[in-house]
Chains A and B, each alone.
Chain A
Amino acid sequence: MSVNEESIQSTTHRRTWRDVDLRAVAPFAALALLLIVGALVNPNFISLNNLANVATRSAFIAIIAVGATFVISAGDLDLSVGSMVAFVASLMIIFMNSGVIADPALMLTAAIVFAVAVGGACGLANGLITTVGRIEPFIATLGTMGIYRGLTTWLSQGGAITLREPEIQELYRPAYFGSIFGVPVPIAIILAVTAVAAFILYRTRYGRHVVAVGSNSDVARYSGIAVNRVRTIAFVIQGLCVAVAVLLYVPRLGSTSATTGILWELQAITAVVVGGTALKGGAGRVWGTICGAFILELVGNIMLLSNFISEYLIGAMQGAIIIIAMLVQRSLVRKS
């Protein structure tokens, strides 16, 4: 009766691990593994400096992916985020170049508010098209992806849009290159955004509603939840996160073009899935998402530092990661 003994053993074994959800732990285990691999490949890798660099560079994708966690948990999908970054960033730079406000500090503040508003509005548009227009989110955001990208190309007339005011540039630079108490600003912002998002998703009424809508929208409806409102708000949150990413992006290069943010939607979705959020909705893991974004950047970094894989293969590697992550997720679901 060896089969039976085996199954008894495995159940007693799982008992000790029962309270830890394997799917929640997996991304962090993968991260730890990567850190070890990286250290073996190149001793410089594990230096605080390098890691802080990696984290800083992951900021855009990480913050966008936090928003994507909401949309995906609610059972939707947003493909337009990459184009939205380009669009919001272009509008923000054009606004700052317009010179409608003389004082640079005031101008910068107004531009920030403006960018956040545009991001929110773009998200709202996505949300309304999917819910009120009753169009599959995949198709709706495929459409707006084209629209935002096209508008950006038109605004830039195919070239680049560059921030011209040196004073504003000077004032704005620290938003990406500065640090607070020794922590680079982008990292601090990732942490802040994630903490707020985690609070909303896990500890507020709205967060529960998102998960309910994502797991079974009929149950949500019968429980008196305004399903369409919940979904629309998730898209708005996604738009706001894109705007925050833009606020970090603009001071870094001070310019945008029609190719800004290309394929970022893919990276953001990858980060979310690698982080353990189910693509079919109903389970969001914000900290896992951050971990996923970090893993993506880390893999690139390791490939760059190692001599035996070409860094031109980074895209292929990231594509492979999402497939591996799905396979791992599924095998964990089967076991539990």
Chain B
Amino acid sequence: MDPETVDAARVVLEARRISKSFSGVQVLFSVNFELRAGEIHALMGENGAGKSTLVKILSGFEQPSSGEVLLDGERVTFPANGAAEALGIVIIHQEFNLAEHLTVAESLFLGREVTRFGMLDRKYMRAETRRVLDLLGCNVDANALIGSLSIAEKQMVEIAKAISRDARIVFMDEPTAVLSREETSFLFRQVRKLRDRGTSFVFVSHKLDEVIELTDRVTVLRDGQWVKTAPTSMLDGESIAQLMVGREMSSLYPAKNEPDVDEEVVLRVDALSTDYVKDASFEVRRGEILGFSGMIGSGRTELMEAVAGLRHRLSGEVAIRGESVPSGDVHAANRCGLAYMTKDRKAKGLLLNSGMTANLTLQSLGRHARIGYLSPASEAAALERARRRFDIRVRDGNVVARRMSGGNQQKLLLAKVMETEPDIIIIDEPTRGIDVGTKQQIYHFISALARDGSSIIVVSSEMPEVIGLCTRVAVMREGRIVGMLEGDEISEQEIMRYAAGLKKMAAA
């Protein structure tokens, strides 16, 4: 769509001077925002800038403290909790929640079940679910229980749910954070198709390349304030990043630092198999950053969980510094200095109803205990240190994890794992939902750890991250390690070739 027609387009939803406070802490300051018919509008900003809050206000999940929302030029007050759907407004939440015991089809039609002669028309609903999922290139079974899906699959179901509703306005709060390139492109294809039919989208993402690829206009928020709205074509990644953080950014990735070939092998995994993973072998040397790439569902997380002792293995060996680690024994792995950071921060990472301190020290309470007594001073010092080190930004120090912005939750999770001072660290999706400024900090942090002699495994669906950070990259496909790239081989095309099954490792 060229800029002129965009300019001419009608404004469907407008926010005027929206302010919002939570328990007296202001997070949005008189923000203006407008959304035109048939546009994809990116909403950008650092973690905690207030993007999710604005999106929730515009879709009726939160009420503004002051200011007004106009729909088709008329002031509206949305009924509480998502009833804005009746007005054609749907939202894909950042911290989404699907009922775990429903099937995919049930969850897609939740609240608008189709009946025939007074009975649920399951057949139709299943077929319709299949159709929408196929549009998105998602092959989960319509009868599968939500609880059994991976987090990426859940995200796809959530997206399917939203786009199947014939909405006029769709808010997408970081829908691609857990998706791979492949799934993302399916999603974008659908989004463009719907846009061309007149649907408006608000797209929140920290992935600059996606924003540039997909969106028509960009609005940037900083610290709860509106900074700029401009056509995407007039901006590039760098200028958006600068608007977001309010300063100039140096290079995103630190210089790579290859470990010596004769450096000690600290982790050796030999022919490991689980239900899904088959015969995976690899080793990590001291001071190395090893990347794991592959499509969603290629078995990376399952392999790492088996290595970390969070899951039993059917066969194979895991040895840390020559010492063999028993299957399914987290404690043994932890004792040997191995820590695993989950990518599922909501379900497996953080106690959402506890504060920052309780979360931060949960895995390392032994450090704060003297004869069983936990010293509050020592814990407070740890929190202070972690907030500085990981730049965790909250306006209220007593906030519970549930209320923190997504990116700050991620930083807290990383801090929690690092509190155990591991020297082999497996990080599953290190920057999920983190803004560029902080991404840079985390990359430099990981690199510094490696230089100090830690070994790091980075599992990531963000290809640039793996390429920019790792000295070696393993590629997985359907439960097997199909490629191990080094040096100049590490490139997007090469990784894709292995991940898609077009190429296989010669020996192995």
Contacts and interface: CB of A to CB of B under 8 A. Distances in A.
Interface in B38-65: 63-65
Interface stretch (B150-158, B177-185, B344-352, B484-492): B344-352
Interface in A201-227: 203-206, 208-209, 211-212, 215-216, 218-226
Nearest to B416: A223
Given A3-B77, A7-B63, A219-B348, A205 B366 contact: yes
Given A4-B64, A215-B353, A223-B363, A205 B372 contact: yes
Given A15-B24, A18-B24, A283-B353, A212 B362 contact: yes
B208 to A, nearest CB: 31
5 contacts: A14-B23, A205-B365, A218-B348, A219-B349, A221-B310
Contacts of B350: 219
A11 interface: yes
A7 B24 CA distance: 10
Name the prevailing secondary structure of the A interface residues: helix
Interface in B365-380: 365-366, 369, 372-374
A252 B265 CA distance: 68
Contacts of B340: 222
Contact of B347 (A211, A216, A224, A225): A216
A211 B354 contact: yes
A1 interface: yes
B310 A222 contact: yes
Interface of B: 21-24, 63-66, 77, 310, 330-331, 334, 340, 342, 347-354, 358, 361-363, 365-366, 369, 372-374, 398, 416, 420
A18 B374 contact: no
Contacts of A12: 24
A8 interface: yes
A118 B354 CA distance: 36
Nearest to B420: A224
A282 B24 contact: no
Given A222-B342, A226-B331, A282-B353, A11 B373 contact: no
Nearest to A15: B24
A3 B68 CA distance: 12
B259 to A, nearest CB: 27
A77 B491 CA distance: 55
B369 A205 contact: yes
Contacts of B334: 224
B459 to A, nearest CB: 15
A208 B350 CA distance: 13
Contacts of A18: 23-24, 398
Contacts of B348: 216, 218-219, 221-222
B374 A11 contact: no
B423 to A, nearest CB: 16
Interface string A234-259: 00000000000000000000000000
A305 B251 CA distance: 78
A215 B351 contact: yes
Nearest to A4: B66
Contacts of A15: 23-24
Interface in A1-59: 1, 3-4, 7-8, 11-12, 14-15, 18-19
A283 B400 CA distance: 13
Contacts of A209: 365
B130 to A, nearest CB: 30
B373 A219 contact: no
Contacts of A4: 63-66
